[in-house]
Copies of this chain bind each other. A is one copy, B any other.
Amino acid sequence: MSDTPARVAVIGLGSMGYGMAQALRRAGLDVSGSDVVPDNVARFSAEGGRGAASPADAAAEAGIVVCVVVNAAQTEAVLFGPDGVAAAMPEGAVFVSCATMDPEIARRLAARLEATGRHYLDAPISGGAQRAAQGELTILASGNAAAFAAARPALDAMAAKLYELGDAAGQGAAFKMINQLLAGVHIAAASEAMAFAARQGLDLRKVYEVITASAGNSWMFENRMPHVLDGDYAPRSAVDIFVKDLGIVQDMARSQKFPVPVAAAALQMFLMAAGAGMGRDDDASVARIYAQVTGTALPGGTASTS
């Protein structure tokens, strides 16, 4: 590295990307940012970042381009669409892809970018907006040595925990999908159990106390079920996220002829919640679907808050 700060472009200044851009700036890096929402860019500029008019503008002098968008289609558009970054990035620069996606698509995007002389790091993230802003994300990364080396200053600034999971794109994405399979099933199971407990007339705070100290506990039960106890479905993470992520799991599994009946059942419950108008509500809203269907009372009622 030279003495001048590395330029890092962040594409997507939503709740995750904005925080990551802040963490990168705090680490002393020179950060440009782009977003489809002009207000997000204006706010970033007002706080001292380099607001850019397009992904291509943001990436033009960046050795690292961090892409924090929602899915594979948006990632592909950021790379290869109009005003995309692939042609704008300096040769030898690295594209750090943070969206959750099918590993097969990650491999395809990487191959296409690498053919132009740029590097691709498959780097899905987890941890939420607060940890993003603190530079304390978990990053599940895979890619070749050159991609890791080029991305290192940004990874160091963004991650509390960096897993290096393989030497090719797709492996990071695959690990992320295994986590999302489990996380989605556990939210649906927690919702099913909590609503069923309400149907038995059990004291739900006591259920929470007992389960979190027992073999039935999960990270998601412990994290999400307080939303049900409080009847508070303001979105921390939305139902639609798991409609998407368990959908990717189904697509992967189907194309590989691998049955995933438990994840399939969980996906149906997220689809019911989204279909009932709760797609943008907190993902613990799945509990409200069980309650609505069966006429079971939950704290705060079961109406959609969207």
Contact = CB atoms under 8 A, between A and B. Distances in A.
Give the dominant DSSP class at A's interface: helix
Interface in A169-193: 171, 174-175, 178-183, 185-186, 188-190, 192-193
A138 B261 CA distance: 32
Contacts of A219: 214-218
Contact of A179 (B171, B216, B253, B264): B216
A186 B263 contact: no
B174 A200 contact: yes
A259 interface: yes
A186 B214 CA distance: 13
Given A179-B210, A189-B189, A202 B171 contact: yes
A214 B258 contact: no
A185 B262 contact: yes
* Total copies of the chain: 2
Contacts of A171: 202
Given A126-B214, A196-B253, A269-B261, A182 B190 contact: yes
Given A220-B215, A259-B293, A266-B262, A178 B163 contact: no
A179 B214 contact: yes
A116 interface: no
Contact of A196 (B163, B183, B213, B260): B260
A259 B195 CA distance: 10
Interface residues of A, number: 63
Interface in A136-153: 138, 140
A43 interface: no
A197 B258 CA distance: 11
B262 A192 contact: yes
A290 B189 contact: no
Contact of A259 (B182, B223, B294): B294
A44 interface: no
Interface string A245-278: 0000000010011111111111011000000000
